[in-house]
Amino acid sequence: MADDFLDEARRNWRAQDAEIAGVSTRLRRDLAFQRLMQGGEFVAAGVAVAAGLGFAWTGVVQGDARLIVAAAVLLVLLPLLTWAAWRVRRREPRWADDEPAGVVAQMLAQVDATRRLMSLALWQAWTLAGTVVALWALTLFGWGEVDAGLGIVTAALLASAAAAAGWAFWRERGLRRERACCERLLEELRNGG
């Protein structure tokens, strides 16, 4: 059946600028970058584990409790965070399998999972701050000496803790907005407009 309105609309629709030059090139570049970033995360976690094992070994050999505490932080926290980030990424919606409302519902679940990850980042910040307290306590109770190394290490740990906490609070605000938007989109899609 002829539909003059739709036929004219189709002509106008296709008259818009829809340049696709460079899409393939950018796609290849983006995919390579994604692989690089993901590989980099696992390499960083591997380096942290190796450094942690090195610290632990040196700490045991030298009888330095501070190195053992630093090793424990490296061995537990970084691989844990890498694993959590990897799990969140695996939750990417199934773009080809779901209808749009299903995708938004999955996104809601993903937002909630990411918020849990943010709690983990906050927990990490508290752990780093606690490590600083423990290192100074160990030093003051005679397990080591107050030196420049201790100052540098604890300052770095505190800076990492502040960065992790700041990032988690900032991300949490964005996630709340994303969640509210998902709820509105879901309602719009389920109510058929």
CB 140 within 8 A of CB 97: no
Closer of 32 and 155 to other proteins (Cβ): 32
Amino acid occupying residue 82: T
Q: What value does the CA radius of gyration of the chain take, rounded to a whole number of Å? A: 25
Cβ atoms within 10 Å, residue 24: 9
Closer of 97 and 145 to other proteins (Cβ): 97
Tell the smallest beta-carbon distance from residue 7 to other proteins (Å). 10
Tell the smallest beta-carbon distance from residue 61 to other proteins (Å). 48
Task: List interacting residues with other proteins (CB under 8 A).
Answer: 5-6, 9-10, 12-16, 18-20, 23-24, 26-27, 30-31, 34, 93, 95-104, 107, 173-175, 177-178, 180-182, 184-185, 188-189, 191-193
Q: Nearest Cα to 78, choosing from 128, 152, 133, 134?
A: 128
Q: What is the DSSP letter of 96?
A: T
Closer of 142 and 193 to other proteins (Cβ): 193
